């Protein structure tokens, strides 16, 4: 009888663990994106208050006006550098291409083992930067923005999630993984502040609301 109840308890425990795994309770990232830590929410709120509010203008925009990806070190360009930074156990070949590893996409919570399933997202999109002030920059400054590894501007994420984001700002797009939204808006504001970019009214309203919950 004792063996029967012991087996039953183990069966129940196994069922609970299985359900928890299915619901994501025990799902932990197998690789963590190493986006440079953005400023605190308080600092982000202070930065946001100082940003110029202006209507956006995309006249003349061309993605080629932001040269990327550039060589960072040896055979490694910016994309390959971010893949190595953001992945776990990443192995690269002589051309710096990732041949194996594990990447956790902070935007949607998916884990990938093939680099081809990932895009390197410009957290503040290139077109958004153009709309809010980068149209007046020199090519070298636009290149620095497009390849910035120091600010929280580049992150490896699921490719189709990045493509769905496109050029949208936080007024119309946010990561589906709600646990990352505070990090996302803090990073967004920090990048815009550092580069002296403006925000439009809807964007500022959305950022204000998200930051108030951080």
Residues 3, 61: Cα–Cα separation, whole Å: 72
Q: Taking 50 as the threshold, does the pLDDT of residue 29 lie above it?
A: no
Q: Which residues contact 4 (CB under 8 A, 6 or more apart)?
A: none
Same domain, 39 and 134: yes
For residue 33, the model assigns a pLDDT of 55
Same domain, 81 and 184: yes
Same domain, 43 and 18: no
Domain extent at residue 2: 1-30
| Domain total of the chain | 2
Residues 185, 43: Cα–Cα separation, whole Å: 12
**What is 113-151 written as a DSSP string?**
S-GGGEEEEESS-HHHHHHTTGGGS-HHHHHHHHT-SSS
Same domain, 165 and 119: yes
Same domain, 54 and 11: no
For residue 211, the model assigns a pLDDT of 98
Name which of 213, 141, 137 is nearest 178 in CA terms: 213
Same domain, 100 and 173: yes
Same domain, 130 and 24: no
Same domain, 138 and 40: yes
Q: Taking 70 as the threshold, does the pLDDT of residue 116 lie above it?
A: yes
For residue 4, the model assigns a pLDDT of 39
Same domain, 111 and 163: yes
Where is pLDDT greater, at 22 or 198?
Answer: 198
Q: Stretch 45-59: mean pLDDT, rounded?
A: 97
Average pLDDT, the chain: 88
Same domain, 18 and 81: no
**What is 178-195 written as a DSSP string?**
GGGHHHHHHHHHHHHHHT
Q: Taking 60 as the threshold, does the pLDDT of residue 16 lie above it?
A: no
pLDDT in tens, 158-211: 999 999 999 999 999 999 999 999 999 999 999 999 999 999 999 999 999 999
What proportion of the chain, given as a percentage, has pLDDT over 90?
84
Same domain, 114 and 182: yes
Same domain, 20 and 113: no
Confidence label for 34 from pLDDT (cuts 50, 70 and 90): confident
Question: b vs e for 54-87, b when ≥16 Cβ sit within 10 Å of the residue's Cβ?
Answer: eebeeeebeeebbebbeebeeebbbbbbbbbbbb
For residue 61, the model assigns a pLDDT of 98
């Amino acid at each position: 009888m004792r063996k029967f109840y012991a087996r039953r308890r183990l069966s129940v425990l196994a069922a609970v663990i299985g359900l928890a795994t299915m619901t994501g309770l025990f799902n932990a990232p197998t690789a963590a994106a190493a986006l440079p830590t953005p400023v605190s929410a308080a600092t982000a709120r202070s930065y946001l208050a100082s940003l110029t509010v202006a209507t956006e203008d995309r006249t003349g925009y061309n993605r080629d006006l932001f040269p990327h990806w550039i060589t960072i070190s040896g055979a490694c360009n910016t994309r390959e550098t971010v893949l190595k930074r953001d992945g776990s156990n990443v192995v690269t070949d002589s051309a710096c291409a990732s041949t194996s590893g594990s990447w956790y996409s902070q935007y949607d919570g998916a884990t990938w083992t093939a680099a081809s399933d990932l895009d390197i997202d410009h957290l503040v999109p290139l077109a958004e930067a153009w709309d809010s002030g980068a149209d007046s920059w020199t090519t070298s400054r636009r290149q620095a923005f497009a390849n910035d590894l120091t600010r929280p501007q580049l992150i490896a994420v699921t490719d189709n999630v990045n493509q769905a984001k496109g050029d949208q700002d936080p007024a119309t797009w946010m990561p589906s993984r709600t646990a990352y939204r505070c990090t996302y808006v803090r990073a967004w504001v920090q990048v815009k502040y550092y580069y002296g970019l403006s925000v439009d009214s809807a964007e500022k309203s959305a950022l204000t609301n998200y930051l108030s919950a951080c």
